[in-house]
Structure 1
Amino acid sequence: MISNQKLNILNDPIYGFITIPDTIIFELIEDPLFQRLRRITQMGLSYLVYPGANHTRFHHALGCMHLMQKAIQVLRFKGVNITAKEEEALHIAILLHDIGHGPFSHAMENSIIEGVSHEEISLLFMQYLNEKFNGRLTLAIQIFKGNHNKKFLCQLISGQLDMDRLDYLKRDSFYAGTPEGNINSERLITMLNVADNELVVEEKGVYSVEKFIVARRFMYWQVYLHKTSIVAEQILTNILVRAKELIKQGKTLKASSSLIFFLTKKIYKSTIDKELILKFSELDDFDIIAAVKEWKNCDDFVLSNLCKMLLNRNLLKIKVKDKPFSDHALNTKLQKVMQKYKLSKDEASFFSFRGTITNLAYSDSKQKIFLLTQKGKVTDITAVSDQINSKVLTNEITKNYLCYPKTKD
């Protein structure tokens, strides 16, 4: 056990001073599993478009915890009953909500361990830490899984207006230098309340919610789904796929022991155990970058050139449009690559491929944002806000892309 004298005050560029509320939070932050988040970039490869976007999951997790402290304070002031144990559990759950992210965050989701989301890995990490901390995380895990009878506690962790979204939009827009994505998270938290066990927003906060949803739409299309980021992430994914293929064929590739472990083994969700989770915790962005720097000298044309593209930001060309690209359009690009570099169709497919991206600013199918009127009535925000009721914000928008090498036609 540590003394209260060690409870630090951290200086954050977004909120100013962030206080660590108690010893359990301090000890969790000090744990190697959490310290690893210093080596996981928050926005994946977005720094190839926005040079300032180099902040980490460590920054984000601390920011979320800070906002959770503010939310608890506001709700208690308004008469909402949150016990001391629930308060601690909320701090723990939001602090650890992203602890399961792999290298480059979303850019490599399902690339290291196929078919398992970062939320599922976060839960496994939390269960491991719960054993380490003698069951202290049990309530936090219950809230994280959405199983607590106080529904609003779960919504603070995962919902339309959770502390995760309130931090990452504000933080990411700051580091990317895109003020259009900035939101007033403090005002949104001030407007929160609870009615019928649901997290609601007081009616006077409707315009802040509108700004939040519009900012979220902007950040996805302009930043998270920027076409250069998309093609860079696909190249990185293809690098891992090609490396696995070569190793399976018997080729020796240099990389960290942790990365080699996951490149050489087929892992299923049902076979994930404590040992494998700890092995996963040894992976971070540095393993991937070190491997890419090594593999650029590989004698395999595909792997070598993919690595050089990523390292030198000499990326594939990408076209994005509303309608799907035809088989003919893709095959034309594939044939050009095959002829120019004497590659098979499978090899050429690492350089010419198509896919889709989707964006949904506000989804009212699973969870809605409810407003609490001055008369105490709870209503769906779409019934009040014409802007949020717009199909542009409430319908899932799908766009199609086609990637291929930059060549002179």
Structure 2
Amino acid sequence: MYFTFAITYRCNGTVKQSRFKIFSDPVHGFISVPQNLLLDLIETPEVQRLRRIRQLGLGHLVFPGAEHTRFNHALGAMALMQEALAHLSEKGTPISAEEHLAACAAALLHDIGHGPFSHTLEHQLIEGFTHEAMSRQLLLRLNERFHGALELTIQIFDDLYPRPFFHQLVSSQLDMDRLDYLRRDSFYTGVVEGKVGVERIIKTLQVHPIEGGPDSRIVIESKGIYAVENFLIARRLMYWQVYLHKTVLAADALLRSVIRRARSLIQAGDAQAATYCAPALRFFLEHPLKAPEALGRDEVIEAFCQLDDVDVLYSIKQWSQARDAVLADLSRRFLHRRFFRTTFLPQTPSPEQLAQWRGRIAQWLVQQGIVPKTQAEEAATYYLTADASQHTAYEPVADPIPVLDRDNQIRELSRTTDAPAIDAIARFVRKPYLCLPKELPFELP
């Protein structure tokens, strides 16, 4: 929901009018967008497409309130960028109007390259795909359409602008992206452990040196240490409780199996599977595509801009009536929320263990009458997923959080606070798991 406001004011005896739009956001309140390049970007088809892509992928199937979209998040990140730049300016860092606009545009467009259900199908449609690479391609296209107005935005996005603190506000441990999605996802899922003191963090950000030259970087003032600690802890908890929840992993595995089966059938010439598939999705299942080469082709980018959650859901509803019993069964399981069971393992299963499980699944598929014995071994590969969830809440070596202490000295976060607590947050955690039908009793072979 948004409102258009017109404010009339007098300047040097002349009546002028300033127009802007106010978006009503349940997380940040009212978000003000001036009717300039930012609003023009919001109204582009590329940004409006984000309304049809869920922020948490399949998370809404576990947390019913998590129906928010990438569009909500894009507006939120831009709003936080506006706040951060205002506070940095108040503290003495010079920021021009052009830089302000470019940085806000970078925050708005940073996730424009996400595909359907966000991260769930990121590696299924184009081999080697990353949404960051697609975001950059779309930025280039928008820049051409807007006659070079996004040149500075692209420099900030690429970290080529000689004032690097702008890029850090877009991509770093404390960027506007993370600050928004943690608070937003906590709000919509109802997971209170993910609540973050965003205002406190933003108000304690500072550019050091204050002039913001080529050697400048974003630091956190010492009074913001505890807010940052809470942010890192919240990030760890949100990953294990929401993003890597075992049922979310099961839903992801099932959707990927549906897509893999459909691709196999379509590329083998199954006309019905192709006909039942939404045209925007069918393009990616018909053609073997590999990044980065595919991202340089206009037809790939144009097809991608047409693709969203709706295309995938439509196709799955159609495939649930397919002649192919495996595709139909997998699709119905997804539609009726009959996911696989996710079982976490003490260690990665061996190839021999996985082969035994595939054999049991193959026998079960034959017993259920889903496939004949001659097709069971191949069909079983769609009913078993072996993977691992992994996460690090803080990377002190690759991307440390610098703290400006009261003596005006810069120290890494763990050297200014309870080091064991930060070390625990920074520890890399990997959890192997299996996803397989619930109808099969689970025992490690």
For 1:229, the equivalent position in structure 2 comes to 248
| Partner-residue secondary structure (3-state), 1:8 | strand
Q: Is 1:385 aligned to residue 404 of structure 2?
A: no
Q: Is 1:54 aligned to residue 93 of structure 2?
A: no
1:134 counterpart letter in structure 2: H
Contact 2:386-2:432 within 8 A present in 1 as well: yes
| Partner-residue secondary structure (3-state), 2:34 | coil
| Partner-residue secondary structure (3-state), 1:102 | coil
Select the residue among 321, 326, 329 that pairs with 2:350. 326
Matches within 5 A, 1:120-131: 120-131=133-144
1:358 counterpart letter in structure 2: Q
Q: Is 1:112 aligned to residue 103 of structure 2?
A: no
Q: Report how far residue 330 of structure 1 moved.
A: 2.5
Report the Cα distance in structure 1 between the residues aligned to 2:405 and 2:306, rounded to whole angstroms. Answer: 49
**Residue identity (%):** 41
Matches within 5 A, 1:33-112: 33-112=46-125
Select the residue among 317, 339, 346 that pairs with 1:315. 339
Q: Report how far residue 276 of structure 1 moved.
A: 2.1
Q: Report how far residue 46 of structure 1 moved.
A: 0.5
For 2:213, the equivalent position in structure 1 comes to none
Post-superposition Cα deviations, 1:127-159, rounded to whole Å, max 9, x if no partner, equal 000000000001001100111111111100000
| Partner-residue secondary structure (3-state), 1:324 | coil
Q: Report how far residue 22 of structure 1 moved.
A: 4.2
Contact 1:322-1:398 within 8 A present in 2 as well: no
1:311 counterpart letter in structure 2: L
Q: Is 1:364 aligned to residue 396 of structure 2?
A: yes
Q: Using structure 2 for the length normalisation, give the TM-score.
A: 0.89
Structure 2 portions without partners, runs of 5+: 1-5, 7-16, 210-215, 367-374
Contact 1:358-1:399 within 8 A present in 2 as well: yes
Post-superposition Cα deviations, 1:116-136, rounded to whole Å, max 9, x if no partner, equal 200000000010000000000
Post-superposition Cα deviations, 1:228-264, rounded to whole Å, max 9, x if no partner, equal 1011111111111111100111102212211111111
How many aligned positions are there?
A: 407
Report the Cα distance in structure 1 between the residues aligned to 2:337 and 2:357, rounded to whole angstroms. Answer: 21
Report the Cα distance in structure 2 between the residues aligned to 1:290 and 1:275, rounded to whole angstroms. Answer: 22
Q: Is 1:213 aligned to residue 232 of structure 2?
A: yes
- RMSD (Å), alpha carbons: 1.5
Select the residue among 382, 385, 399 that pairs with 1:350. 382
For 1:257, the equivalent position in structure 2 comes to 279
Contact 2:253-2:385 within 8 A present in 1 as well: no
Contact 1:330-1:353 within 8 A present in 2 as well: no
Report the Cα distance in structure 1 between the residues aligned to 2:319 and 2:160, rounded to whole angstroms. Answer: 45
| Ranges of 4+ aligned residues in structure 1 off by more than 6 Å | none
Structure (1 or 2) with the larger CA radius of gyration: 2
Contact 1:195-1:378 within 8 A present in 2 as well: no
Contact 1:128-1:274 within 8 A present in 2 as well: no
Q: Is 1:168 aligned to residue 181 of structure 2?
A: yes
Report the Cα distance in structure 2 between the residues aligned to 1:93 and 1:106, rounded to whole angstroms. Answer: 20
For 2:266, the equivalent position in structure 1 comes to 247
Q: Report how far residue 223 of structure 1 moved.
A: 0.3
Cα gap change, 1:64 to 1:293, in 2 (>3 Å): same
Post-superposition Cα deviations, 1:82-102, rounded to whole Å, max 9, x if no partner, equal 111110110110000000000
Q: Report how far residue 29 of structure 1 moved.
A: 0.4
Q: Is 1:399 aligned to residue 431 of structure 2?
A: yes
2:248 counterpart letter in structure 1: S
Contact 2:363-2:376 within 8 A present in 1 as well: no
Q: Using structure 1 for the length normalisation, give the TM-score.
A: 0.96
Report the Cα distance in structure 2 between the residues aligned to 1:122 and 1:12, rounded to whole angstroms. Answer: 24
* Farther-moved stretch of structure 1 (286-295 vs 140-149): 140-149
For 2:212, the equivalent position in structure 1 comes to none
Report the Cα distance in structure 1 between the residues aligned to 2:417 and 2:406, rounded to whole angstroms. Answer: 16
Q: Is 1:306 aligned to residue 306 of structure 2?
A: no
